[in-house]
Amino acid sequence: MTLIARHSNVDQLPPVWAWTNAIPQRAQPQSRRHTPWPWESVLMLLSNTLTRQHRVLQAGDAVYRAGEHLSNLYVLNSGFVKVMSLASDGREQLVSLKWRGDWLGFDGMATSHHSCEALALDTSEVWAFKYEALLAASAQTPELLTVLHEAMGRELTHDRDALMSVCTLPAEARVAEFLCHWVESLAARGLRTDAITLRMTRAEIGNYLGMTLESVSRALSKLARQQVISFVEKRRRDVCILDLKALTAFIQRQ
């Protein structure tokens, strides 16, 4: 339990946060691509200008389902959500993972009907905003519109990064990048980045990264063998990041 290694730059831990399982720490230096955004002030802006509806979800519950009419956009206030795209022939694709502060529901804007499903992977809380009300408020408050567009732009950028990843990187590198991106997401929210709790099966990770669950398992085993990561006891979903530099190096070569 206390075997989790800590990065040396953790000099002081802030008070415990209402955040799933993870203990917050000082904000860390950000990566190049994923610059921090003031999601806390965004949440405040939203609370001040709009009425919201809170919704608590258990793991497995859907925020929205494919085909549903787009009536709300959502902001994830706590927990962890996966977004699945469904093809008519039965293929499923995990296209995005969402953390605190992320928006949900943009995939419904093209046709007014959601083209994806958003499923909670952990106990989660979302704030639901009526799409119409959001648009109306945006007309009054340009700041709100900017916030919305920034979020959409980030989603677009993320999807394209994902596409580049599966198109240009070999399987092992994709797994390494997956872990790095997870770390960045935690860092951007001021959470500790020395250990991550994958609340997904190997099959889900594999689907997300375009490979089989066996390849995911092998890649993780190799990273562990090389002391880049380690697992907490027998819990193979709790990953300690032993050497972030080595992990990022894995993305580039091989």
Q: Using CB under 8 A, list all residues that contact its own copies.
A: 32-33, 35, 85, 87-89, 91, 93, 95, 106-111, 115-116, 135-136, 138-140, 142, 145-146, 149-150, 152-157, 159-164, 166-168, 207, 209-210, 252
Name the residue nearer to DNA (CB basis): 38 or 170: 170
Name the residue nearer to its own copies (CB basis): 141 or 217: 141
**Contact of residue 218 among DNA, its own copies, none (CB under 5-8 Å per partner type):** DNA
Question: Closest by alpha carbon to 100, among 186, 41, 216?
Answer: 186
Name the residue nearer to DNA (CB basis): 114 or 174: 174
**Contact of residue 244 among its own copies, DNA, none (CB under 5-8 Å per partner type):** none
3-state secondary structure of 116: strand
Rounded distance between C-alpha atoms, residue 63 and residue 55, angstroms: 9
User: Is residue 213 near DNA by the rule CB under 7 A?
Assistant: yes
3-state helix, strand, coil in the chain (%, to 5): 40, 25, 35
Structure tokens given for 53: 């509806």
Rounded distance between C-alpha atoms, residue 139 and residue 171, angstroms: 45
Q: Which of 77, 145, 218, 240 binds DNA (CB under 7 A)?
A: 218
Least distance in angstroms from the C-beta of 163 to DNA: 14
**Contact of residue 171 among its own copies, DNA, none (CB under 5-8 Å per partner type):** DNA
User: Is residue 236 near DNA by the rule CB under 7 A?
Assistant: yes
User: Is residue 23 near DNA by the rule CB under 7 A?
Assistant: no
Structure tokens given for 197: 């709790």
Name the residue nearer to DNA (CB basis): 74 or 182: 182
Phi, psi torsion values for 64, nearest 5 degrees: -150, 165
The secondary element (H helix, E strand) that includes residue 206 is: helix 202-209
**Contact of residue 248 among DNA, its own copies, none (CB under 5-8 Å per partner type):** none
Name the residue nearer to its own copies (CB basis): 127 or 208: 208
| C-alpha distance across the termini of the chain, in Å | 33
**Binding marks (x or -) toward DNA, 117..156, rule CB under 7 A?**
----------------------------------------
C-alpha triplet 178, 179, 185: angle, nearest 5°: 90
**Contact of residue 107 among its own copies, DNA, none (CB under 5-8 Å per partner type):** its own copies
Q: How far is CA 61 from CA 14, 23, 52, 64, 122, in A?
A: 31, 25, 20, 9, 9
Rounded distance between C-alpha atoms, residue 179 and residue 245, angstroms: 12
Least distance in angstroms from the C-beta of 178 to DNA: 13
User: Is residue 207 near DNA by the rule CB under 7 A?
Assistant: no
Residue keyed to tokens 């046709």: 111
